[in-house]
Amino acid sequence: MSDTTGLRRKIWVAFILQATAISFAAVLGVYGASAVLKHLLIQRALTEEASHYWKRSLVNEDASVPDTFNMTGFLVNERHPASMVPAAVRALPPGYHSLPRSDGGALVLVQEHRGNTLYLLFKQEQVDALAFWFGVVPLALVLMVVYVIAWTTYRASRRAVSPVIWLASQVQRWDPKHPEVSVLKPENLPVDVEGETLVLASSLHEYGVRIEELVTRERNFTRDASHELRTPLAVIRMASEMMATDPMCSPRQEKSLNRIQSSVRDMETLIEAFLILARDGDTGLPPERLLASDVVEDEIEKARPLVGNKPIALEMEIASDFQLLAPRRVVSVLVSNLIRNACYYTDAGHVRIRVSFGEISIADTGIGMSADQLEKVFEPFWRGDMARNEGQGIGLSIVQRLSQRFGWPVRLESESGKGTTATVSFPQAERPGQE
């Protein structure tokens, strides 16, 4: 399992995103609180302080302007010249202002009342200090608590999914042909595997045991079938050949023997194909470097008895030979089924097998197929001409399964009444003599 897609990675990413989102929200909140403190609360405080001063001045014209640690006031009228007011503040119109840092950065309220102008200055340093102590410090404490809680949650989540991750790593190391199911036995599981993970581990253990049984059964079947099915067919074939050589054999008996031999060859080809397809992954046949023309030539000779007395020319054309590293028997079964199928459905003309680099094509002048029939041709037990008795209707199905198994694409081109061309491509083809 990739580290970039594992549960640990996803939990870590979720933790980072959560912490980032919380931090962003907290910082945004502090910034908003600072803005509220600066532009609303202090502005309101200055406004109320100015209003209170004007009330006091109605009672006592000599009432002192506000002058505290955080706030400084200036009054400009006939008795108090503007020269006492700082130059940066003196030219400000009535209203609420924020001086730049270069001019002190104070928050200033300017009000006029009955010929008097009041200037109230609130120190920016105090605003920053208030924002720090009532914003940044609580924010830092809150974030620290949030991070500790999130980290604790992350560690707890990681511990919670650790059994699942362990189980996934064990299953990932399994060889499909030889799964190591013993590691999932209840007595071999880690102590932290419990609950749903324990149920999953037990189910996988039972499933693995079942796979082992099926694989063993498949191996036993293919081994036994390879011997038990081929032996009687070999006996039948040899006996029929000996009977065919008997001079006392009548034409009728000879015809029956030929049919027996043809059926035996069909059965041998089918059994070989079924055994190859029955094996999972390994065909049980060692790959060898073979020439395509040699395989085709052998299969043509084996197919000649199928032609019989039909006016058919069984021809071979080599445009560009190639070699292939593959089990010879697999290639033989694939080519044999295509040639046999062409012979079955051709009554006259030719069956031409052409070898070009990376391809083997079988073209016939048989009955051909329509577009609708061509769509069904790879279905098991389907035959183009149901009235014919030749073939079992599974040859092309076997060809397709072998082509998919070994990566040898097969394509069919056909026209009703004009014949069919089957082409097998071999992407792994090599030039003769190339190692």
For residue 156, what pLDDT is reported? 76
Residues of the chain with CATH 3.30.565.10: 287-425
Evaluate if residue 387 carries a pLDDT over 50.
no
Higher-scoring residue by pLDDT: 421, 43: 421
pLDDT at 384 over 60: no
According to the model, what pLDDT value does residue 324 have? 92
Higher pLDDT, 133 or 360: 360
Return the residue matching tokens 């959560």.
18
Query: What pLDDT, on a 0 to 100 scale, did the predictor assign at position 178?
Result: 67
Whether 283 and 320 have beta carbons less than 8 Å apart is answered as no
Q: What torsion, rounded to 10 degrees, do the Cα atoms 278, 281, 282, 286 define?
A: 110
What is the model's pLDDT at position 33?
Answer: 65
Euclidean distance between CA atoms 425 and 357, whole angstroms: 9
Strand order of the sheet with strand 107-113? 71-76, 116-122, 107-113, 95-98
Position 132 scores a pLDDT of 67
Q: What is the pLDDT of residue 131?
A: 65
* pTM metric for this prediction: 0.50
Task: Indicate the CATH number for domain 287-425.
Answer: 3.30.565.10
Distance from C-alpha of 226 to C-alpha of 158, rounded to nearest angstrom: 52
Cα torsion 161, 167, 168, 173 to 10°: value is 150
Model confidence band, residue 423 (pLDDT cutoffs 50, 70, 90): very high
Burial of 91 per CB tally in 10 Å (0-12, 13-18, 19+): exposed
Residue-wise pLDDT for 244-256, tens only, equals 788 888 888 887 8
pLDDT of amino acid 130? 66
Whole-angstrom Cα distance, residue 92 to residue 115? 16
- pLDDT higher than 90, residue 307: no
Distance CA 338, CA 314 (A): 13
- Return the top range by mean pLDDT from 159-173, 235-249, 356-370: 356-370
The yes-or-no verdict on residue 276 having pLDDT over 90 is no
Look up residue 397 and give its amino acid. Answer: S
